[in-house]
A = this chain, B = another copy of it.
Amino acid sequence: MSVLIVGSTALDSIKTPKAENPRLLGGSASHAAVAASFFSPVKMIGVVGDDFPKRYLQLYRRHGIDLAGLQVKPGKTFHWSGEYEVNLNNRRTLLTELGVFESFTPHLPDTHKATPFVLLANIAPSLQHHVLDQMANTKFVVADTMDLWLNIALPDLLRLLKRIDGFVLNDSEAHQLTQEDNVFAALRKIHKLGPKYVIIKKGSHGSILSGPRGIFICPAYPLRKVCDPTGAGAPFIGGLMGNPAARGPVDKNIRRAMIHGSVVASFCCEGFGLNRTTRIKRAHIDQRVKELEKLTKF
């Protein structure tokens, strides 16, 4: 079964004290789509400018990603530039050029409108709504978000929560949304806003799922060296959504799907942009999943 993924498709220029990485392939849809592609066929919805490097289109294709829903518009691709400090915890944005992304309206090809699994990766909630408006017969719809939308588009986001099956956010966003410091108290409040499944991401501390079968404490894969931690939420949720799509009933499979997402995110953190993720094979993922089984057994 396919996964439809909508989100941002961007070029990221990332500076660290040791290196400059100009115009890497980035954006929530790119990360999520490549991650999901290890498990399922992926249909990506997004927009790029006519400056978008051909090698990145080839990269998508190498991962079997269906690009019928990727618009190529005259103008510049969304470009973000940021600089990291030595310890990687502090990052500052140097530049944000929205380019063709500013007027993006996702259009779904007819072939895409009945895709059962839908990932609304991080993007304005109004665009997430717009994608759902075009769809029928979905089986499992999950949305990701970021603090920006809590700040400037909360009513849209709250409306969205009534329309989706699963919602993913990080711990500080969960606190912002519910005013609860405690993750488990926050989960309870978020369920009341609509979604049956809620996942709170805690970075290197793993993530927590709350769903019909209760709580699941999902570990992060232990990494001794993190190269680029930002945006690891997108491959996590991409891997998760690819995985149950390939494996049947969500309720039964979502825990193992989270573990797979967590592992794909761990590879992502080991390189800049998609550098590491695009160099792994499914066998590397399966190996780390097995390791996580051992690392958590008692």
Is B217's CB under 8 angstroms from A219's CB? yes
Q: What does the 1/0 interface line of A203-218 toward B look like (CB < 8 Å)?
A: 0111010000011111
Q: How far is the CA of A161 from the CA of B226 in the complex (A)?
A: 28
Q: A205-B205, A219-B217 are in contact. Are A225 and B182 (CB under 8 A)?
A: yes
Q: What does the 1/0 interface line of A173-184 toward B look like (CB < 8 Å)?
A: 000000001111
Q: What does the 1/0 interface line of A267-298 toward B look like (CB < 8 Å)?
A: 00000000000000000000000000111111
A137 at the interface (CB under 8 A from B): no
Query: Which residues of A, 70-92, contact B by the 8 Å Cβ criterion?
Result: 87-89
Smallest CB separation, A239 vs chain B (Å): 14
A129 at the interface (CB under 8 A from B): no
Is A182's CB under 8 angstroms from B296's CB? no
Smallest CB separation, A244 vs chain B (Å): 12
Q: How far is the CA of A202 from the CA of B214 in the complex (A)?
A: 23
Is B216's CB under 8 angstroms from A298's CB? yes
Q: A258-B298, A298-B256 are in contact. Are A182 and B223 (CB under 8 A)?
A: yes
A194 at the interface (CB under 8 A from B): no
Q: How far is the CA of A295 from the CA of B256 in the complex (A)?
A: 13
A222 at the interface (CB under 8 A from B): yes
A188 at the interface (CB under 8 A from B): yes
A224 at the interface (CB under 8 A from B): yes
Smallest CB separation, A161 vs chain B (Å): 21
Q: How far is the CA of A188 from the CA of B296 in the complex (A)?
A: 19
A241 at the interface (CB under 8 A from B): no
Q: A215-B222, A217-B219, A222-B217 are in contact. Are A297 and B182 (CB under 8 A)?
A: no
Q: Which of B214, B223, B295 contacts A217 (CB 8 A)?
A: B295
> Using a CB–CB distance below 8 Å, which chain A residues touch chain B?
87-89, 181-185, 188, 202, 204-206, 208, 214-219, 222-226, 255-256, 258-259, 293-298
**25 sampled A-B residue pairs with Cβ under 8 A:** A88-B181, A182-B226, A183-B204, A183-B222, A184-B222, A184-B223, A184-B224, A185-B224, A185-B225, A202-B205, A205-B205, A205-B206, A208-B222, A215-B295, A216-B295, A216-B298, A217-B295, A218-B298, A219-B219, A219-B296, A255-B297, A256-B298, A259-B298, A293-B298, A296-B296
